[in-house]
Amino acid sequence: MIDCHKCEHYYVTWDKNFPHGCRAMKFKSKRLPSIEVRVNSHRECLLYKEKKPRKKVTR
């Protein structure tokens, strides 16, 4: 199962009714976008792209 929280396209919206969003597919939903995609297309998300790790700042 795809974890949207690790996807580059995932974002949290300000809409309390639709708190999860996908920039790649341009939609918001109550459930995670990967779940919506699987329910509606019967396939895993094809636009999943893993986030690049953040660079650690050393001081």
Please state the φ and ψ torsions of residue 11, each to the nearest 5 degrees.
Answer: -150, 155
pLDDT at 14 over 90: yes
Q: Whole-number mean pLDDT of the chain?
A: 93
The answer to the question of residue 21 being in a domain is yes
Residue range of the domain that includes 9: 4-41
Cβ–Cβ under 8 Å, residues 43 and 49: no
Cβ–Cβ under 8 Å, residues 37 and 25: yes
Name 8's Cβ contacts closer than 8 Å, sequence gap at least 6.
Answer: 49, 50, 51, 52
Average pLDDT score over residue span 9-28: 95
The answer to the question of residue 52 being in a domain is no
The answer to the question of residue 46 being in a domain is no
Average pLDDT score over residue span 47-56: 89
